[in-house]
Chain A
Amino acid sequence: MDTGAKELLDNTYPSTLESVDIAEGEVLKAAGDAGFDEDEQHRIGMAVRECMVNAIVHGNRYNRNKQVRVVAAVSGGRFTIRIIDQGEGFEIQEVPDPLHENNLLRHSGRGLFLMGAFMDDVKVRKVSPSGTEVTLVKNVAPHR
């Protein structure tokens, strides 16, 4: 069935920090192809970077036998990026609020918050047999 979706990227990356830069660059190119301007590309790139770091560092824990898949597509005025790791997963409600005064000066814990700040929608779900899929959505402006 033709859903009207245009797939821009579907790649798999090893669990290394180099993959963060590579995936960010490839999604930025896809975002450019989707018509986003430089500022929007920057926000999308940051969200992808934070998500890739979470997938590699906290999800796959740098395990070179595990990979991260990144899929980007445009459909129905939405630019959607799915980032899927093979880690043990996490409970989103257990992630501390980085804006709470008790957490403000913590060294880490801002990644998921920044994804939400830079994208229009963020969804997290567990995948079978193990892993986490994070879906990042940016609405494509009507004039594009």
Chain B
Amino acid sequence: MSVKIDTRKVGDVTVIDVSGRITLGEGSSALRDVLRDLTAQGNKKILLNLSEVSYIDSSGIGELVSGFTSVANAGGTLKLLGLTKRVKDLLQITKLYTVFDVHEEEAHAIRSFV
């Protein structure tokens, strides 16, 4: 399986732990489904943990962006946690790094939600 996705609650924040590859096909559609379901269930504070993600392609970036906007449109906030160097580089190249609120430590990220 190209990607594994688990969700857990830390207080009122929903943490999505993603591991593997977020690429066109199974990986990106799985992330899209999880974000859509969480948004539909009314989750407003979502932290996407990408620390175990080894690879993201442009389709994966598209899902991050779509997730960010759909959560925001529903009145919520999507933040990113634990980018690997390659994923960070990719977001910087595409000028998206400053669009997202990116954190390195989970506790700090959780506290940042108001």
Contact assessment for B66 and A99 in the assembled complex, using a CB-CB cutoff below 8 Å: no
Interface residues, chain A, CB within 8 Å of chain B? 17, 20, 42, 46, 49-50, 53, 57, 98-99, 104-108, 110-111, 113-114, 117
0/1 string, B57-91, CB within 8 A of A gives 1: 11101110110110000000000000000100010
Contact A17 B25 (CB under 8 A): yes
B95 touches A104 (CB 8 A): yes
Report whether A113 and B23 are in contact in the complex, using a CB–CB cutoff of 8 Å. Answer: no
In Å, the complex CA distance between A53 and B94 comes to 18
Question: B62: nearest residue on chain A (CB-CB)?
Answer: A107
Residues of B within 8 A of A105 (CB): 65, 68-69, 99
Convert B84-106 into 0s and 1s, putting 1 for each residue whose CB lies closer than 8 angstroms to a CB of A.
Answer: 00100010011110010000000
Establish whether residues A98 and B94, one from each chain, have CB atoms under 8 Å apart when the complex forms: yes
Main secondary structure on chain B at its contact with chain A?
helix
By the criterion CB–CB under 8 Å, are A49 and B23 in contact? yes
Q: A110-B94, A113-B94 are in contact. Are A49 and B99 (CB under 8 A)?
A: no
Measured CB to CB, the closest approach of chain B to A7, in angstroms, equals 27
Q: Is the interface of A mostly helix, strand, loop or mixed?
A: helix
**Which residues from chain A contact B68 at a C-beta distance below 8 Å?**
105
Cβ–Cβ contact A104 & B25, under 8 A: no
Q: Which residues of A contact B23 (CB under 8 A)?
A: 49
Question: Does B24 count as interface, using CB distance less than 8 angstroms?
Answer: yes
Are A53 and B24 in contact, with the CB atoms below 8 A?
Answer: yes
The residues of B that contact A108 with a CB separation of less than 8 Å are: 58-59, 62
A110 CA to B63 CA, complexed, in Å? 12
Note all chain A residues with C-beta closer than 8 A to B65: 105-107
Q: Is the CB of A99 within 8 A of B24?
A: no
Q: Which A residues lie within 8 Å of B90 (CB)? A: 114
Are B57 and A107 closer than 8 Å at their CB atoms?
A: no
Additional A-B contacts beyond A17-B25, A107-B66 (19; CB < 8 A): A17-B24, A20-B24, A46-B57, A49-B57, A50-B58, A53-B59, A98-B94, A99-B95, A104-B96, A105-B69, A105-B99, A107-B63, A110-B58, A110-B94, A111-B58, A113-B94, A114-B58, A114-B93, A114-B94
CA gap between A114 and B90 in the complex, in Å: 9
